[in-house]
Amino acid sequence: MDLTNVALPFMLTVLAGLSTVVGSLIFLSHRFSKKKYLGFFLGLSAGVMIYLSFMELLPIAIKRVGFFNANIFFFLGIFIITLIDFFLPHHYLEERMCRKQSVTDKKLLATGYIVALGLLIHNFPEGMAVFLSSFTDLKLGVLLAIAIAIHNIPEGIAVAAPIYHATLDKRKAIKYAFISGSAEPIGAIIAYFLLKPHLNQNILAYVFSLVAGIMVYISFDELLPACFRDGQGHKAILGVISGMIMVFFSLLFL
């Protein structure tokens, strides 16, 4: 695993993670009326993640370590992200931030910080997933990076909005969106140094199973509920189908 092999997977992880900054910039541009497209793109991200999990990651893992082991690690991935979500439920904090109610600047700022911290912790496994997937199969990594980048844009908005409204400081809003997204490249670095001595086909198969579980949970617990909550269920379903078709053709021809 030399540095030339690592550079591109790491760059993909950086791009996926720092799309939170793109989200903050979209919010700060004051043109965030384009919520009408959000349901479709969140659905697209979910479609890519779900299809990749069940049609690529799990089949590879099952082939290498067997049906039972692959599924145990798939459910372990779901369990890990559920635990993280239980202790730091960032999407519930986002909902609180979005409610039309009078809150003090101090409370609003605290909400922004808590959302940023929650996303920081959520983004570690995503960074490891993009890095390891890209290192093993660049095509797979690119698709995963695109899905996570789309998923991270509204998360950047969720961090920037309360911080900006509390402080009227654009730089601070962007800074905390950047910090929350930077967990993904940090996750990639940790994956590289922790797994480097032990990396083989079986370890990667277990990692793929974990990643599949994490992505399925994110899709069903965060992305799709957000679309339906905003009354964009139909657009979300079109997005899911489009994402699946996109991955199908990518896997077929790339």
Please give the pLDDT value at position 95.
52
pLDDT tens readout for residues 6-37:
888 899 999 999 899 998 898 888 655 455 66
50 within some domain: no
Q: What is the pTM of this model?
A: 0.71
Residue 65 predicted with pLDDT over 90: yes
65 within some domain: no
59 within some domain: no
If we measure between CA atoms, which residue out of 161, 156, 150 comes closest to residue 236?
150
150 within some domain: yes
Owner of token pair 């995503």 = 126
For the segment 145-153, the average pLDDT, to the nearest whole number, is: 85
63 within some domain: no
pLDDT band at 72 (very low <50, low <70, confident <90, very high): very high
pLDDT band at 178 (very low <50, low <70, confident <90, very high): very high
34 within some domain: no
Name the range with the highest mean pLDDT among 84-88, 120-124, 184-188, 195-199.
184-188
96, burial (CB in 10 Å: exposed 0-12, middle 13-18, buried 19+): middle
Total domains present in the chain: 1
Which carries the bigger pLDDT value, residue 61 or residue 105?
Answer: 61
35 within some domain: no
38 within some domain: no
Torsion of CA 79, 83, 84, 86, to 10 degrees: 130
Residue 97 predicted with pLDDT over 90: no
Residue 128 predicted with pLDDT over 70: yes
Cα separations in angstroms, 26 against 7, 154, 214, 223, 248: 28, 9, 27, 19, 30
Q: Which domain holds residue 106?
A: 3-28+72-253
Please give the pLDDT value at position 101.
43
Please give the pLDDT value at position 108.
62
